[in-house]
Amino acid sequence: MPNNLNPIIDSYAKGKISAVHFNMDSETISIAIRDKNSTENTEIVFEDVKAFYYIDHDTHSELKLSDEALNAIAYDDFGFGEFSAAAEDEDDLFVTIPNFALNLEASSLFIDAHKIRINNQAYHVKF
């Protein structure tokens, strides 16, 4: 997909996250966000999520994203680096390349998703 998605999602930078819902059974991450020019929430749903990585730059030990300002949200065809995870009792290594990055006040969320839906408008980003 040509990178014409960034101008759309850029309009939500500097917005306020109202709620986040992780549903790994349906492979989705839903984010309710108010952009800087609106008082109503927009629903952004990452679909066919293969992995996500939460990096907390503070000393919080919990995943807290509600009521947090979104500094930037970006999409990249080639991804934002390679992330890997291994189970403690297995030798298998799971490697993924997140194609969405959300920069929050004191943390970052990287998502590897094949689709994004913004107010019910779907965009396929990986095939």
pLDDT of residue 67: 63
Residue 8 CB partners (closer than 8 Å, separation 6+) = 118, 123
**C-alpha–C-alpha distance, residues 31 and 16, integer Å:** 10
Give the mean model confidence (pLDDT) for residues 8-31.
90
* CA-based nearest residue to 5, from 46, 36, 55, 64: 46
pLDDT of residue 69: 82
Q: How confident is the model at residue 61 (pLDDT cuts 50, 70, 90)?
A: very low
What are the tens digits of pLDDT across the range 64-88? 566 678 889 999 989 998 988 766 6
pLDDT of residue 35: 74
Q: What does the block give as tokens for 49?
A: 């999520």
Q: What does the block give as tokens for 113?
A: 């998703």
Question: Which residue has tokens 């500097």?
Answer: 14
CB 113 within 8 A of CB 50: yes
